[in-house]
Amino acid sequence: NAGVTQTPKFQVLKTGQSMTLQCAQDMNHNSMYWYRQDPGMGLRLIYYSASEGTTDKGEVPNGYNVSRLNKREFSLRLESAAPSQTSVYFCASSEGGGPPLHFGNGTRLTVT
Amino acid sequence: RKEVEQDPGPFNVPEGATVAFNCTYSNSASQSFFWYRQDCRKEPKLLMSVYSSGNEDGRFTAQLNRASQYISLLIRDSKLSDSATYLCVVGMDSNYQLIWGAGTKLIIKP
């Protein structure tokens, strides 16, 4: 099993460009999450999806949109990237109401 | 005041020693508590949940002190492979919106 697959691993964007981060899990988990991690700070939740067909805002949703395409896939879109969105992004999944159990390898995004 | 605070370290500890670190949380209504570990430039991995009565998993012991609002992690007989950043995570009424500490860096030296 691959677990949680997240793409791309690295990305450099110019301010104003858009991009979509892809995430897929093969464990049949209901819950999926998008986090960002910045130096000296804890992970911060951007959006989560408790089950297929539902999405909810986390702590820092501004500037992002998500799509829970099906049970496997949960994508994160930056419509107009800003330097403040330079970060490492992690997708995660869990079963039911448990804590995030499986994480993707992360996407290192730089916005210039 | 941060909602979840951890000493960033690094804690430099010789192999075989016992090391402990704490994490304080500000919201007394917090219900769930976890420790994750994160290796350098890798994803976090769930190490253990923390239960009210305290719990142990091999060389790792987690404790919760609700009165003083902190959780602790103790590692016995430390191994080189224990070198990592340990993240304290606290939840309220669900595990969807958890609050993550910035982590404590542990370096085990031979």
Contact B22, B90 (CB under 8 A): no
Q: Which two tokens stand for residue A8?
A: 């791309």
CB-CB neighbors (< 8 A) of B91 in chain A: 99
Instruction: Say if CB A92 and CB B46 are below 8 A apart.
Output: no
Mean of all residue pLDDT scores within chain B: 95
Buried-exposed string A31-40: b where 16+ CB fall within 10 A, e elsewhere? bbbbbbbeee
| 3-class secondary structure, A19 | strand
- Given CA atoms B93, B95, B96, B102 in this order, what sign does their dihedral have? positive
Q: Cβ contacts (< 8 Å) between B49 and chain A: which residues?
A: 99
What's the rounded Cα separation, in Å, for the pair B62 and B7?
Answer: 17
| CB-CB under 8 Å, A42 with B4 | yes
Residue A89 is predicted with a pLDDT of: 98
Considering only CB atoms, which chain B residues are within 8 Å of A42? 4, 87, 89, 99-103
In a 10 Å sphere around its CB, with 0-12 CB exposed, 13-18 middle and 19+ buried, how is residue A53 labelled? exposed
Task: Name the helix (H) or strand (E) containing B64.
Answer: strand B60-65
Contact residues, chain B, for A101 at CB < 8 Å: 46
* Under 8 Å between Cβ of B58 and B17: no
Size of interface A-B (CB pairs under 8 A): 55
User: Are B4 and A105 in contact (CB < 8 Å)?
Assistant: no
Query: In the prediction, which pLDDT does A1 show?
Result: 59
Shortest Cα distance, chain B CAs vs residue A21, angstroms:
16
Chain segment A12-53, per-residue pLDDT in tens:
999 999 999 999 999 999 999 999 999 989 999 999 999 999
Distance CA A96, CA B26 (A): 26
Chain B residue with minimum CA distance to A39: B102
pLDDT at B1: 66
Per-residue pLDDT of A69-98, as tens digits, reads: 899 999 999 999 999 999 999 999 998 778
Identify the closest residue of chain B to A58 by CA–CA distance: B97
Q: What is the least distance, in Å, from the CA of B60 to any CA of chain A?
A: 18
Q: What share of chain A is helix, strand, coil (3-state, %, to 5)?
A: 5, 50, 45
pLDDT digits (tens, 9 = 90+) for B7-59: 999 999 999 999 999 999 999 999 999 999 999 999 999 999 999 999 999 99
- The residue of chain B with its CA nearest to that of A59 is B97
pLDDT for the residue numbered B2: 77
Residue in the structure block whose two tokens are 């994508």: A75
